[in-house]
Structure 1
């Protein structure tokens, strides 16, 4: 598909044209994350900062300071303005989203979770580059909505499943190429484990959810018993829970608590279609997704990798 850019976008250098859809899709990204994402070949992000400043002067992007204290001074976080969003949507390069981040939201307590989601996707992107696989800056999308039950005007938490991100990764091995799709749940150790446990039930429900036909209609022979995920994915996405924000001891305890909750949940235990694993952001970043850094949610706690093989995985 040919990308159609507005006059404002075409006046940007190529790097600026690359940055706009990334900021639109990921909402809030730190300068250092953008550097590792799009200019990893440079030692320092001097040119990147220059282009971001140019985009800000054109009122395409804006920035705010990171709330958490960091060594070396505050870090800038970047997001698109309404004008920048309009340009991205007109190009049709990424999926249009109704969500708009405001300066108030960018400066709020949601910063760290948003940045942790980006950091998780960036870990996959960085290792894909090192391993000769495919996973680029636009290969994960935050907060895609999935319905997990029927009901008129039911839009509450029990009717919708919203992963922190859906990530697509193409793994290349001597035996061929393999498309992997992940639901990502990022836990910064700020929510009760029980709340995350309840979300596991929603994931299990989605793996087997068959939408009811519209009122007054019946299933056709071809559509009878067809799970909702088949209209979006080649297989049920693997679920990877990524823990961060606490000491290794605390994260290990949370892993054990999640495994205990899953073992006590009959729906999760019975849903063999859903492969689930738990890792930490630090291990994922330092060692990569295809090293033994993932603890399975069910069964023996033997470390494996992010392939998370299950009977129906492909």
Structure 2
């Protein structure tokens, strides 16, 4: 039995690690307790490890980088809390070898979360650690699904009270797939935008008295979340190549016309987000890649 019920910091640390899947000590510190010394976060993670809730691997990088991930027991404990209840259980890291093989992409996704969290803190906007939700499952029929790297909730305005909620699907690309495969993700999101599930035994065209069936995403969101591509793992030329591939897909795929008319789709280099912040005009709209806009640009029309 742990003392998590009485330790808010421990509880937040475990909830964040379960939700984010993986983080370095420095990343955990920046997410949960940037106002204290990093040694306190290190001691907290060591205590959680002693209680069997988290484990770690050490990557052979400068300084022997420690990477933390939740154990199956830690996931079981955290998923019973109201903050995480009802969400699909995360894909478990089976052992240190599996953690090492997944660490590159997962740590980059966590670093992307920090770009938004830290910018919100500076601006007085509302974006809490658990407002970044990785791998939310969205069915599109025939057993297929769209699973973004993360779903972001962000409320603008002083302490989040004055502004509107902005939601975004975030796809993090580390140049491990070709530009065409990255661009193909646009088609998947276009399918999600138009996907209407058919209840068993119901005709596709509703008969008199039947309510029309709506798109599946409307059950979760008042507006379809904007789509953000965060590009890393390559220099400026590689970023440009990927943005051009997204632009080509946007121009040459007729089925995307309605989707792109209603949903902002933007791409930016992670290096620019780190150095300038996501609310600065560092994002390229995929339909007009020569422009630069902030991520919370107004919707088309």
Per the normalisation by structure 2, the TM-score is 0.90
- Between Structure 1 and Structure 2, the one with more helix by share is 2
What's the offset of the Cα at 1:31? 0.6
CA distance in 1, matches of 2:157, 2:128: 14
1:19–1:263 CA distance, 2 compared to 1 (3 A): same
The match for 1:201 among 155, 164, 187 is: 187
1:182-208 deviations in whole A, cap 9, x for unaligned? 000000011011111111001112112
What's the offset of the Cα at 1:134? 0.7
Give the match for residue 73 of structure 2. 83
What's the offset of the Cα at 1:294? 0.4
Give the match for residue 270 of structure 2. 281
Per the normalisation by structure 1, the TM-score is 0.87
The match for 1:162 among 128, 147, 152 is: 147
CA distance in 1, matches of 2:192, 2:5: 45
The count of corresponding residues between Structure 1 and Structure 2 is: 295
The match for 2:25 among 22, 26, 31 is: 31
Structure 2: tracts of 5 or more residues without a match:
none
1:250-298 deviations in whole A, cap 9, x for unaligned? 2122212221222111122342122100011111122112111000011
What's the offset of the Cα at 1:300? 5.6
Whether 1:15 and 2:6 are equivalent positions in the alignment is: no
SS in 2 for 1:91: coil
What's the offset of the Cα at 1:62? 0.5
Give the match for residue 240 of structure 1. 228
Give the match for residue 120 of structure 2. 128
1:103-147 deviations in whole A, cap 9, x for unaligned? 245433221111111111111000000000011111111111111
Structure 1: tracts of 5 or more residues without a match:
1-6
CA distance in 2, matches of 1:105, 1:309: 44
SS in 2 for 1:62: strand
Whether 1:262 and 2:241 are equivalent positions in the alignment is: no
1:231-262 deviations in whole A, cap 9, x for unaligned? 00110100000000111222122212221222
Give the match for residue 64 of structure 1. 57
Give the match for residue 138 of structure 1. 130
1:291–1:10 CA distance, 2 compared to 1 (3 A): closer
Whether 1:291 and 2:277 are equivalent positions in the alignment is: no
Runs of 4+ aligned structure 1 residues displaced above 6 Å come to none
SS in 2 for 1:138: helix
The match for 2:212 among 220, 224, 237 is: 224
Q: Which moved more, 1:224-233 or 1:303-312?
A: 303-312
Q: Which moved more, 1:221-230 or 1:33-42?
A: 221-230
What's the offset of the Cα at 1:181? 0.4
SS in 2 for 1:289: coil
CA distance in 1, matches of 2:266, 2:19: 26
Give the match for residue 97 of structure 1. 88
Whether 1:111 and 2:103 are equivalent positions in the alignment is: yes
1:163–1:11 CA distance, 2 compared to 1 (3 A): closer
SS in 2 for 1:211: coil
Whether 1:41 and 2:18 are equivalent positions in the alignment is: no
CA distance in 2, matches of 1:142, 1:290: 21
Q: Which moved more, 1:95-104 or 1:269-278?
A: 95-104
Q: What is the RMSD computed on CA atoms of the aligned residues?
A: 2.2
Give the match for residue 201 of structure 2. 215
What's the offset of the Cα at 1:11? 7.0
SS in 2 for 1:110: helix
CA distance in 1, matches of 2:107, 2:278: 19
Contact 1:144 1:166 in 2 (8 A): yes
Contact 2:59 2:100 in 1 (8 A): no
1:38–1:310 CA distance, 2 compared to 1 (3 A): same
